[in-house]
Structure 1
Amino acid sequence: MRTMRPTPVTDGPVTIPPAETPGLRGLLSLAVAVVVISALYFARDVLIPITLAVLLSFLVAPIAAFLRRWYCGRVGSVMLAMALPLVVLLGLGAIIGTQVTALVREVPAEQTIIVQKIDMIRHATVGNFNSFVKQAGKELQHAAAPKAEHHSADRAPPPERVSVVPAPISPTDVAKGIIGPMLDPLAIMFIVFTVASFILLYREDLRDRMIRLFGSTDLHRTTTALDDAADRLSRYFLTKFLINAGFGVVVGLGLFAIGVPGAILWGVLTALARFIPYIGSFIAAVPPLLLAAAVDPDWSMAIWTLVLFVVGETVVGQVVEPMVYGRTTGLSPISVVVAAIFWGWLWGPVGLLLSTPLTLCFVVLGRHVERLEFLDVLLGDRPALTPVETFYQRALAGDPDEALDQAEVLLRDRTLCGYYDSVVLPALRLAAGDAVRGALYPGQLDRITDTVAELIDGLDDQVDSEKPVRPSPAGTDQAGTDQVGTDQVGPPAVPARLVMPPRGQLAPVWQGEAPVMCIAGRGALDREGCAIMAQLLARHGIGTRIVPHEAAARTHVASLDMDGIAMIFLCYLDIAAAPSSVRYLVRRLRRASPDVPIAVGFWTTKADYERYGDFQAAIGASLYPTSLRDAVDQIMAQAIATAQVAPVESRSADHEPEAEEHVFKLGLPLQPGAA
């Protein structure tokens, strides 16, 4: 039997209100975005060196701080710290130049093998088709050649001999040819190192100016944002540089052992290419793989090269980086890919290398600057919705499979009771509030109830097991609460986790199949709360009979079957409109069965409890659990308490103190008529 649920009255099909027309503020934001992107594109020749300098300063800052602690002075520590990347770059440039020269000299010596491999691949793919086309072309030329020769024999002018005299090359031209291509990279390097040096020299002054610019009225938040950004970027760059350098060394040594020409060159390019997210290693693997396939008479060198890159990238990406970075760098995978595409389009290859650190900067700003919070939502790896909101959304969509998937993930670190307390009940409160306001259109409420029913059925084999209890510093046992992330309030969870004794040792009234009667409130989803309560009690060996609210109405309460009931439990998701109706319901149940204790469970919020602080005295019930965990423990305590006073002959003498200890810790009085 289903309870009557309040549904909004609608005269026609439900329509979604149109979106608001963008105002002046939205248009200004769009114009600012267009101007910023245009400036980034047209000013890239200036912005790229400055950006590289800022990121280089983050990379070198830990080294400079370390040298300064060893009394090198501000200027000396910065000069020594900047000399290290300069030496590395010059060394890499020399190595790359030497390797390219050696490769240019070595590859022509393998020309015969390369030609043979190209011919082999050509014949294996399109050789037959090319032969057919060539033969057809010859036949056509043969058919048209006599006529063409006959008509053009008298008109063809005599051939003229043409000779090209090369112009003399001056020393100035040679110097321009050598130095010209190097001017732009040298100028960029000079700008990068100069700006980075001044950033390191005056980093305290720049920090104070940033604080003044972004939030002098909130020094705590601004300082936290700057420290977070600096720490994240410094750690990311340093660890990324070390990992990529190590991977490049491994690849270079591996290619040298395999015998691929230019092994050191490919190792350096692999280390640089790994800064490109996800596809950098695969891009770096293409040139050495093609070269190995070309210079080796067979295919063994190419196969070993492929194995080297696949195994190396798998180990580094799946083992080394998670151990060094942790589980994540703070960016979602889709944002990394989109950022790589955007910055690659905007700034070219340099943008590809800088895409991840620049995106990381934006995510940090979004986490600490309120007006930029959308950047954290779009680019960060934190869930966009809380577990409560996620469950409610999936219930609205009528998707119990995804709700069960979420439950399986959350149940890894919490109990079944804790999951219901912290996720499902708050989501049901949201749904009940929307139903009262008329925000749910017809059919959505049924989807929610069906989703909850399938969720309960899917979790029917889940055990409500508790984590081991750690003793507190005072020496008493205290159990932690399961209500992580919820605003449920009330007495803390029972310190000692109780274990139900065999049914034969309980009082006769608790030995029935359903000693607890759970009566749902008048709310739209109170019956689902009763179903959850029944499942939890069943996990601990206590049966429950669920009764709709109409069965306890004034005209039906006299016919309510109270046979074999040891406790009555009233379940409400909302307290706002409940106290008066609950008080009358408790009175009717008291008159119908005066010896049965009554518990009233309000699964509500802290604000409601503060607003209705004196409702308990007015209701007059026996127990007032404020969470599912509290309700299960109190009902189990009642059953164990009746087992303690019941005349059970099989109970041993050493069992009685244990039961007394449970009752003492719970602090719950024995209710009249429970035995």
Structure 2
Amino acid sequence: MRALPGDRVLPREHEPPRENGTPLPDSAIEQPPLIRRQEVVAVALAGLLLIAAIAALYVAKAFFLPVVLAFVIGTMLSPAAGFLERIHIPRAVGSVLIVAAVTALGAFIVGLISAPAMEWSTRLPELAGRLKDKLHVFDRPLALWHELQAMLGSSDGLTGLQMPKFDWVQPTLEFLSPTFTEFLLFFATLVLFIASWKDLRRTLIMTFGDRGRRLRTLRILNEIEEHLGGYLLTVTMINAGVGIATGLICVLTGMPNPAGLGALAATLNYIPIIGPIAMFFVLVIVGLVSFPTLAGALMAPLMFGILTFFEGHFITPTIIGRKLALNALAVLLALAFWTWLWGPMGAFLSSPLLIVASILKEHLMPDETPQLPED
């Protein structure tokens, strides 16, 4: 029925109730919650599972560290075993030869490093006294600093440079040195892993009944083996070049034990970020002890700093390329986490484990979200 021009039209909110007495329904539609209870429970359970896994890895370090280290290094060395197998050397024999060669190379590098280290360790008090005499130039700034602390109410009234005590040497050596059982477990697992890698691959692939899942597992294993093998070969070549260049720098600047310092630089360069920084301070300390002037002592560290700057910003990114390039923040966080969890060996494993995690994420959780529009 149409309204006449003189009729009064009530607003919609003031409409009378319907004839049957039921009011009009509210127009507001109730929205579902942004986070459901089931999602909160799932996230909480996943967090508890992650915490339990980290705690297990930390408590059972003596077991998990050698096994994971053997798996990672065995995956890196498996292409070499495949090459020996192609030239008619049985895989079991090839795995023993590869592990023996790697062990001999490691023993040679340890010998280059340990000889001067043991010599210097017997002269720690003498070297500490010489280092303290060289650092008297900092006595006046330190005295001013302590005076400022005293004015601000600090009770520390020490003046002059105080040399640290050497009570940390024994705990540090115990922390860095794995036990014989861990060594034995690592080598046994490494040999058996390389020898049986083909059977392990086949078993992992055939575990899944669906053809699509088998193909995905095969692609994941192939990519992990390719990336880790390429990472080991590339990083080893780069670190060998850094070690040789560091040795030449030590020869040109007159530093003692250039071969040992070069081997130490090559070894520490396997640990991202921390390794080059530690080597820089080692060169600073050795230079301060060995040279009469501060300029002569800092010559080798400055040249090493320039070398590592070009290696980290130009040489390594160019050689590795985008395929093996990792996010710098992810590398730093992985380095901090695995170093806290497993110490120096965890620092070495941080980049390979990050590569494995990125490959698994790419295949198991592909990014199918729409891209944001450009600005």
TM range (shorter): 0.7 to 0.9
Unpaired stretches in structure 2, ≥5 consecutive residues? 1-26, 151-173
What is the Cα deviation at residue 268 of structure 1?
Answer: 2.7
Residues 451-530 of structure 1: matches in 2 within 5 Å? none
Cα distance in 1 between the residues matched to 2:129 and 2:337: 43
Tell me the equivalent position of 1:144.
Answer: none
Match of 1:360 in 2: 355
Query: In structure 2, which of residues 93, 101, 125 is the aligned counterpart of residue 76 of structure 1?
Result: 93
Secondary structure (helix, strand or coil) at the match of 1:47 reads helix
The question of whether the paired residues in 2 share the 8 Å contact of 1:113 and 1:296 is answered with no
Name the CA distance, whole Å, in 2 between partners of 1:93 and 1:216: 49
Give the aligned partner of residue 49 of structure 1.
66
Which residue does 2:232 correspond to in 1?
237
| Residue in structure 1 matched with residue 192 of structure 2 by the alignment | 198
Which of 198, 201, 205 lines up with 1:207 in the alignment? 201
- What residue in structure 1 maps to residue 45 of structure 2? 28
- AA partner of residue 244 (structure 2): V
Secondary structure (helix, strand or coil) at the match of 1:327 reads: helix
Q: Deviations 1:290-344 (Å, cap 9, x if unpaired)?
A: 2212332112233312322222112212232122211352532221111112212
Alignment of 1:622-661 (within 5 A): none
Deviations 1:20-39 (A, max 9, x none): 33354334323322222222
Structure 2 equivalent of residue 617 of structure 1: none
| Letter paired with 1:77 | G
Partner residue in 2 for 1:281? 276
Report what 2:302 is aligned to: 307
How big is each residue's C-alpha offset from its partner over 1:109-133, in whole Å with a ceiling of 9 and x where there is no partner? Answer: 6677434213232234317967xx9
- Any conservation in 1 of the 2:66–2:182 contact (CA below 8 Å)? yes
Equivalent residue number for residue 60 of structure 1: 77
- Give the structure 2 partner of residue 256 of structure 1: 251
Alignment partners' CA distance in 2, 1:288 and 1:36: 39
Gap change, CA 1:242 and 1:226, over 3 Å in 2: same
Higher relative contact order (CA 8 A, sep 6+): 2
**1:205 corresponds to which letter in structure 2?**
D
Under a length normalisation based on structure 2, what TM-score does the superposition of the two structures give?
Answer: 0.75
Distance, in Å, in 2 between the alignment partners of 1:333 and 1:123 is: 39
The verdict on how the C-alpha distance between 1:60 and 1:17 changes in structure 2, with shifts beyond 3 A counting, is: same
In structure 1, give the amino acid aligned to 2:271.
I
How far apart are the structure 2 equivalents of 1:94 and 1:345? 28
Question: Are residues 1:39 and 2:56 paired?
Answer: yes
Indicate conservation of the 8 Å contact 2:290/2:297, yes or no. Answer: no
Amino acid in the other structure paired with 2:138:
I
1:19 aligned partner: 35
Among 339, 350, 356, the residue aligned to 2:345: 350
Query: How many residues were matched structurally?
Result: 320
* In the alignment, structure 1 residue 97 sits paired with structure 2 residue 147: no
What residue is the counterpart of 1:156 in the other structure?
A: none
The answer to whether 1:292 aligns with 2:284 is no
2:214 corresponds to which residue? 219
Who is 1:389 aligned against? 372
Deviations 1:256-289 (A, max 9, x none): 3322334333333322322222342112211221
User: Are the equivalent residues in 2 in contact too, given 1:259–1:301 (CA < 8 A)?
Assistant: no
Coordinate RMSD, CA, aligned: 3.1
1:236 to 1:390, Cα distance in 2 relative to 1, 3 A: farther
Query: Equivalent pairs: percent with the same residue?
Result: 23
CA contact (8 A) 2:283 2:301 kept: no
Opposite residue 357 of structure 1, the aligned amino acid is: P
Whether the aligned pair in 1 keeps the contact of 2:208 and 2:214 (CA below 8 Å) is no
SS at 1:260 equivalent: coil
Task: Determine the C-alpha separation between the residues in 2 that align with 1:266 and 1:280.
Answer: 13
Greater gyration radius: 1
Distance 2:284 2:71 in 1: 35
Are 1:334 and 2:332 an aligned pair? no
d(CA) in 2 for partners of 1:267 and 1:108? 25
The amino acid that maps onto 1:50 is: V
Task: Check whether the contact 1:339–1:359 (CA below 8 A) recurs between aligned residues.
Answer: yes
